[in-house]
Structure 1
Amino acid sequence: MITLRSSTGRARPPVWLAALGVGVGALALIPLAYLVVRSVEAGEGAVETLLRPRTAALVVNSLALAISVGATCLILGTVAGWTLAHVRLRYRAVWVVLATLPLAVPSFLAAYGWLVLFPSVSGFWPSWLVLSMAGTPYVTLAVAAALRSSSGQLEPVARSLGRSALSAFFSVTWPRIAPSALAGTLIASLYCLSDFGAVSMLRFQTLTWGIHSAYAASFDRGLAAVLSVVLVLLAAMVVIVERRLRRRVPPSLGSAPPPSLTLDSRTLPFVALASIPPLLGVVLPLGGLMSRLLRAETMRQIDVERFVAASVSTVTLAAAAAALTVLLALPVAALAARYSGALVSLVESSTSVALALPGIVVGLSLVFFTLTVAPAFYQGVAALIFAYAVLFLPRAVGTVRSGLALVPARLPEVSHSLGVGPLRSWMRITVPLALPSLGVAACLVAIAAAKELPATLLLRPTGTSTLATELWARTAVAEFGAAAPYAAMLVLVAALPAVLLSRAAGRDAT
């Protein structure tokens, strides 16, 4: 029998909570389980698919892109994080925002901006540029956080002993920030492996491109399923390595001092390198978007009815996805926040599987699943919203868990001792106190769902479009003018939850 320990001293969680957690974990595993089943059913065809030269080419392209993007993000992100921590910059808060801004721009939107400026670009190097700029903030944030939690006095001591600035950095600073920097690099590589929109727009053939082509062009379910499993295995390797590195973060040696280096000829090159991701990942692509949007012919190309329908669909689907994802995250987060043990670890890990499931894989697996097991849901809104919930459940669980952990564990027990049922006590006391974290989780999911592309392309009901799918469809046939309004509205829609998040953070800081 599995024994669970709670911070409240109870041996195990309530049966209803454990049952809900197990149920959510089982739902989250549906896409992966069905992909495995489809691949096994393919039998010899799966082996034949794996041995095709085309499959090897797609794997090589995906790995080459992920490795090169990861290496670029490691260098630029480490420089940017070190610069933010050590150089005295005017308007420092603005620099911090600029460093993280590429995270708010979908990769396919950045690719669109570059295509507007340079319509003929395509292939490996443009894809590398766009995805490197999008992934660098993962390393920047990790390095900056590591430097904030460690002493900044070791480098000056090393330099006083005759070490050069570069030698001092690699001898005393790099060993302390390396686990965080490498973890951020692996996250950027995982993002690169799962990307579909940017590589499709820039016409570079990776596994995600091959999966979509196998499904869309020939409706070859077996080939698409086998390629999906290959992609999941590659992504799972990245997730496993990232989690191992996360456990190796060394303890802090104290708090870092304020930035000590002035902006001069020695530090200016570092500031210039730190400026590259926001400049090439945000400013130039959005500049291309605005240049196209302000042209008179662009306004004449707008199909107002279609534009309004796509905007409404995007907002509606994002809101529904946020509500469902937070609802599913609640029992899992409650188990993780209050209890430990094998069952809790298993439930939490099952919901984290989506970290290794790119959107196109989840979409394809649910296409297969609904056609075979639940045909009534095929190409329905419910299947699409469920795909969003599976994809974004890990980030919701983490956020909600943090909020629930701050709620005093004794309050529900006191309510229960007064005759109120455990479920009712939990809903009337724990959930209301954790509402701020629920709101943050909902905003995070809404932002991600509004920008999601590959699963939406595969699962959207016939006749339904979103801003992301309209943007992708028009750029696929080089209709950059017609795509501009959809790109601009997508930026605005994604910005609304971000504004709510910033206001919440401002209230928390006061």
Structure 2
Amino acid sequence: MTLARRRALAAAPLRVAVAVTAALLALLPVGYIAVSTVLLGPRGVVDLVWRPRVGELLVNTTVLLVATASACVVLGTATAWVTERTDLPGAPVWGALFAAPLAVPAFVNSYAWVSVLPGVDGFVGALVVTTMSYFPLVHLPVAAVLRGMDRDHEDVARALGLSPRAAAVRVVLPALRPAIAGGALLVGLHLLAEYGALALLRYPTVTVAIYDLFESTFAGPAAAMLAGVLVVLCLVLLTADMALVGRARQARVGAGAARRRARTPLGGARLPALLAVGLLVVAALGVPLASLARWLLEGRSTTVDAAALAVATVTSIGLGLLAAAVTTALTFPVAWLAVRRPGLLSRVLERTAHLGNALPGIVVALALVIVAIRLVPGLYQTTPLLITAYAILFMPLALVNLRAALVRVPPELEEVAHGLGSPPVAVLARVTAPLLARGAGAAAALVFLAVSTELTATLLLAPTGTSTLATAFWGQATALSYGAAAPYAAMMILISVPAAFLLTRQVHAGVRA
């Protein structure tokens, strides 16, 4: 083994240790559910889970999940198709507007609808709000696939006698299946994690019930078992996604020929299409923005002074920056092992780190509450515990970006630096870090923006007296002080706008790559 190789491996034990630590943190919520189940025993689990109320919550959650995912698939696919494949006037502008609702947290969207139309609640209100909030999660990946798809296959299908509609059904839709399934999975996971929007709309789901139980019984066995039901639902969604995507090959050798394609003319359907997309943008973006503007200008309950808003903003930004730094640093060894040392261990660690993407914030917070109270009481309601929850929840956001960036960093440059006598720390600082800066910055930015609007885990774990934009908004909104809640909602949207812009740019960059 060469000296450079030995120096390159010298840093591996520390990185493995940090990666294992990150994986163990991600496993903590699932471990908490498993231990609670074992301690209760089969009879205790049956008594707590096999109850009419749990069945009602499960039906409510499942019905809303299926309805919202279906509506988002239809709207997301349709908007992607009309902006990428037709001659809709102003298609790029409409595409940006369809991504913009991601800058409006779902609980802010529900606040807007409820404050404008107080009768919008229950299942119908929940379906409208969640669909308007989440359909961009389907639109963006489907639009990216359509934008980068080689249309030679459609030309061949047309040459063989298929009509445009038949070619789209038999050629294009199968290619879109992974993007549609992935978008629907994200919608389902977001909905399972959603508390604020559904609580404001008075639609009881498993997540809403868990929080209510936490407030009444302080994380008793019933809350733990409901959390277990939620984890099972997450696993069902992940299994369904794998089954829908299948193992069909979607890639091709070579990038194909770059040719400018004529868009499908809408003809007489152009005006109805413009009207439809306009109404969708008004419902998804216009209602929350108009509602906020109204309450900011006219709300009699607008009593929040600039100092209170500034404190909440600074706290949110501070927690976001700290969580972004910790999460990115904790996730880097996992990404490094996955790229530089592929094998069974690295695959296990990488898959485990992704668990945070499948766990609602209420489950993560509940697990950390119990662990802190029983093992380290002094840790409960402290900033380190809150940052730990953020790291578990948003580790996948950092991992995806860091892994993609590391793939583009030539390992030979690191080996040359090692061969020239540089220690591992110097190689990381002088070679790897500068080349990784763009990807690490994107990872940290996404984590920061996710943390700045996080509600559930913050409500349960934030230190006493700590007020973030999300929790301050929630306190005012649940008290029906819509005018007082408006400034906090507006500030959350302002700092969330870059997240939607960054996500859109990443999708476009991925297509060009």
So what's the TM-score if we normalise by structure 1? 0.90
Output one character per residue of 1:326-376: Cα deviation in whole Å (capped at 9) or x when no partner.
Answer: 111111111112221110000101100111110111111111111011111
| 2:391 counterpart SS class | helix
Deviation at 1:211, TM superposition (A): 0.4
SS at match of 2:35: helix
Deviations 1:102-124 (A, max 9, x none): 22211001111111211232101
Could you say if the C-alpha distance between residues 378 and 259 of structure 1 is closer, same or farther in structure 2, counting changes exceeding 3 Å?
Answer: farther
CA distance in 2, matches of 1:503, 1:152: 23
Moved more, 163-172 or 192-201: 163-172
- Do structure 1's residue 251 and structure 2's residue 254 form an aligned pair? no
Q: Does 1:146 align with 2:145?
A: yes
What amino acid maps onto 1:472 in structure 2? W
Partner of 2:313: 311
Corresponding residue of 1:4: none
Contact kept? 1:310, 1:467, Cα under 8 Å: yes
Distance 1:498 1:282 in 2: 13
Gapped regions of structure 2 (runs ≥ 5): none
Check 1:507–1:179 CA distance in 2 against 1; reply closer, same or farther (3 A cut).
Answer: closer
Indicate whether 1:135 and 2:134 are aligned.
yes
- The one-letter amino acid paired with 2:29 is P
Letter paired with 1:363: A
Q: 1:246 to 1:447 in 2, by over 3 A?
A: farther
Q: For 1:483 and 1:216, how far apart are their aligned partners in 2?
A: 22
Distance 1:482 1:503 in 2: 34
Q: Is the CA contact (8 Å cut-off) linking 2:86 and 2:266 kept in structure 1?
A: yes
Q: Is the 8 A contact 1:77 1:274 kept in 2?
A: no
Describe the shift of the 1:507–1:160 C-alpha distance in structure 2 as closer, same or farther (beyond 3 A).
Answer: closer
Structure 1 residues 172-211: Cα deviation after superposition (integer angstroms, max 9, x where no partner): 3222222321221222122112111110110100010010
Q: Please give the per-residue CA displacement for 1:28-73, whole angstroms capped at 9, x wherever unaligned.
A: 2222212221232233332211101111111111111110011111
Secondary structure at 2:261 match in 1: coil
Q: Using the alignment, how far apart are the partners of 2:493 and 2:371 within structure 1? A: 33
- Could you say if the C-alpha distance between residues 183 and 130 of structure 1 is closer, same or farther in structure 2, counting changes exceeding 3 Å? same
Q: Deviations over 1:414-469 (max 9, x none)?
A: 22222222243223321222111111111101110011111111101111121111
Secondary structure of 2:323 counterpart: helix
Shift, 1:90, TM fit: 3.6
The percentage of aligned residue pairs carrying the same residue is 36
Task: State the 1:263 CA deviation.
Answer: 4.4
Q: Does the C-alpha gap of structure 1 residues 60 and 501 become closer, same or farther in structure 2, counting only changes over 3 Å?
A: closer
Alignment match of 2:436 (pick from 434, 437, 459): 434
Number of residue pairs aligned between Structure 1 and Structure 2: 501
Q: Does 1:37 align with 2:35?
A: yes
Is this contact kept in 2: 1:440–1:501, CA < 8 A?
Answer: no
Flag the 1:181–1:504 CA change in 2: closer, same or farther, 3 A: closer
Instruction: String of CA shifts for 1:204-225, please: whole Å, max 9, x gaps.
Output: 0001001001111222421111
Q: Please tell me the residue identity of whatever aligns with 1:371.
A: I
Hey, what does 2:112 align to over in structure 1?
Answer: 113
Report Cα offsets for 1:129-176 as digits up to 9, x if no partner.
111122211221222222233333555776687766544432332222
The verdict on how the C-alpha distance between 1:11 and 1:322 changes in structure 2, with shifts beyond 3 A counting, is closer
Residues 361 and 393 in structure 2, CA contact (< 8 A), matched pair in contact too:
yes
Q: Secondary structure at the match of 1:151?
A: coil
* Alignment-derived partner of residue 332 in structure 1: 334
Q: Call closer, same or farther: CA 1:158–1:425 in 2, change over 3 Å.
A: closer
Q: CA deviation at 1:274?
A: 4.3
CA change 1:497–1:152 in 2 (3 A) is closer
Describe the shift of the 1:248–1:184 C-alpha distance in structure 2 as closer, same or farther (beyond 3 A): farther
Whether contact under 8 Å (1:80, 1:270) holds in the other structure is no
Query: Mean Cα displacement is larger for which, 340-349 or 415-424?
Result: 415-424
One-letter code of the match for 2:493? V
How far did 1:382 drift?
0.9
Aligned to 1:201: 200
AA in 1 matched with 2:408: L
How far apart are residue 89 of structure 1 and its match?
A: 3.5
**Distance of 2:299 and 2:199 partners within structure 1:** 28
2:470 to 431, 445, 468: 468
Q: Deviations over 1:274-308 (max 9, x none)?
A: 44543312111111111111116254x22444333
CA contact (8 A) 2:80 2:95 kept: no
Give the corresponding residue for 1:295. 298
Q: Is 1:265 equivalent to 2:268 in the alignment?
A: yes
SS of residue matched to 1:425? helix
Matches within 5 A, 1:15-34: 15-34=13-32
Q: How far did 1:80 drift?
A: 1.0
The answer for the alignment partner of 2:12 in structure 1 is 14
Structure 1 SS opposite 2:300: helix
* Aligned partner of residue 250 in structure 1, secondary structure: coil
Q: Is the 8 A contact 1:13 1:335 kept in 2?
A: no
Identify which range, 190-199 or 64-73, moves more after superposition.
190-199
- For 1:352, give the aligned amino acid: H
1:246-299: CA deviation from partner (whole Å, max 9, x where unpaired): 754523595675342234323444454444543312111111111111116254
Task: Specify the code of the residue in structure 1 equivalent to 2:441.
Answer: G
Please tell me the residue identity of whatever aligns with 2:80.
G
SS of corresponding position for 2:269: coil
| Mapped partners of 1:256, 1:103: distance in 2 | 32
SS in 2 for 1:29: helix
- Does the 8 Å contact 1:28/1:353 carry over to 2? yes
Aligned mates of 2:265, 2:373 — CA distance in 1: 62
Task: State the shift of 1:393 in Å.
Answer: 0.3
The one-letter amino acid paired with 1:429 is V
Structure 2 counterpart SS, 1:262: coil
Verify the 8 A CA contact 1:239 1:355 in the aligned structure 2: no
Residue aligned with 1:294, SS: helix
1:174 to 1:502, Cα distance in 2 relative to 1, 3 A: closer
TM value normalised by structure 2: 0.90
Alignment of 1:113-192 (within 5 A): 113-152=112-151, 165-192=164-191
In the aligned structure 1, how far is the partner of 2:32 from the partner of 2:418? 41
